[in-house]
Amino acid sequence: MSRIGRLPISLPKNVTVDLKPGNQVIVKGPKGQLEQSFNVDMTIELSEGVVTVARPSDGRIHRMQHGLTRTLLNNMVTGVSTGFKKELEIQGVGYRAELKGPKLVLYMGYSAPVEMDPPAGISYTVDAKAGKISVEGYDKELVGLTAARIRKVRPPEPYHGKGIRYAGEVVRRKQGKTGK
């Protein structure tokens, strides 16, 4: 059995899971609601506050889908109950970020500031003194995608390390030109 796939998912008190035909799963919680379809070969069972996933055979495709299905379900439950957060850091002289209403405005050395609207279910927080941006939401995939789009505005460059990076990301630095 898959080590990840066989683990049960315990549901917090404020989270409900609805199983629809065709392995359509709807998870509702205090942060929001997520809905996703899974492979029809996987068996998803709900009993007494615990969700379990089983596979029909030990075939290669079923083994791969087993762990994936369980992980995606767990991310849905975690997202609607506690949510997810990605932190980004801004490094560089003159680079900064600020909020204008819900919009994130980035001043990254371009001729005009870059404005980014948050997708539905995503919120930004900015700490201007420390140069940090937080992306928060209940959909793990959307939080990661939004953070990647922010980082793409000015990725860290290898010579001086300036740009937007994930918190804790190590940027490999290159040696510059050497004179004779």
- Structural contact between residues 101 and 166, judged by C-beta atoms closer than 8 angstroms: no
pLDDT at 4: 87
Whether the pLDDT of residue 62 is over 80: the answer is yes
Calpha distance 81→12 (Å, rounded) = 7
Residue 18: alpha-carbon gap to chain centroid: 23
| Confidence tier at 159 by pLDDT (50, 70, 90) | very high
Q: Note the pLDDT tens digit of each residue in 79-103.
A: 999 999 999 999 999 999 999 999 9
- Rounded Cα gap, residues 62 and 41, in angstroms: 8
Q: Which residues are registered as beta bridge partners of 1? A: none
Q: What is the mean pLDDT of the chain?
A: 93
Question: Among 2-11, 134-143, 150-159, which stretch is predicted with the lowest mean pLDDT?
Answer: 2-11
26 touches 18 (CB < 8 A): yes
